[in-house]
Structure 1
Amino acid sequence: MVALRARVQDAEARLENLQGVREALDCLRNRVWDLPRQLGDDVDRLRTRCSQGKENGERARQGLERHLDWIRVLYDRLWAA
C-alpha cells in the first residue's frame, strides 16, 4: 500500500510538472504568433526614425550650403574691394 501511495504521489508530481510545461509552451506559442505584429511595429518605428534622420540630414546640408554661399560671397566682395 505504501509503494502504491508513493507511485500515486510520483504520478501527481509528474502531472503537475507536465501542466507547468504545457503552460510554458502555451506562453511561447502565443509569443511566437505575436512576433510578426511586434516585428511590424519595430519596422514601422525604424522606418519613421530613418525618414526623420534623412530629413534632418537634408536640412543640415542645406544650412551648410547657405553658409558656404554666404562665405563665398563675402570673400568675393573682399577680394573685389
Structure 2
Amino acid sequence: NGYKVYGADGCQIGPETADAVLAIIETLDYFTGPKYMDFDEAKRAGKIIEIPDSCLEAFVDAVYAQRVGGGEGIEDLKLVYTP
C-alpha cells in the first residue's frame, strides 16, 4: 500500500527526503536484504524503545490544550475508532 514517514518536526517528510529514503529502499533485496529480529531480542538490543506513559500523558495534555471552547459540550461527543 505505502507508508508515511515523519521527520523530527513531526511533519511528513518532503519530496527530497522521500526520494532519499526510496533510494535506500530500492537498494535492498526484498527477500534477503531486510534483517529480522524477535521483538524481545530487539528490545534488549535497544532497537525498540517503548514510549513512557509520561510522554503519552504530555501528548494528551497538549491535545486537550488545543480544544476550542475548553471542551464544553464534550460529553455529547460520540466517537468510533475502527483500526
TM-score between the two structures when normalised by the length of structure 1: 0.27
TM-score between the two structures when normalised by the length of structure 2: 0.26
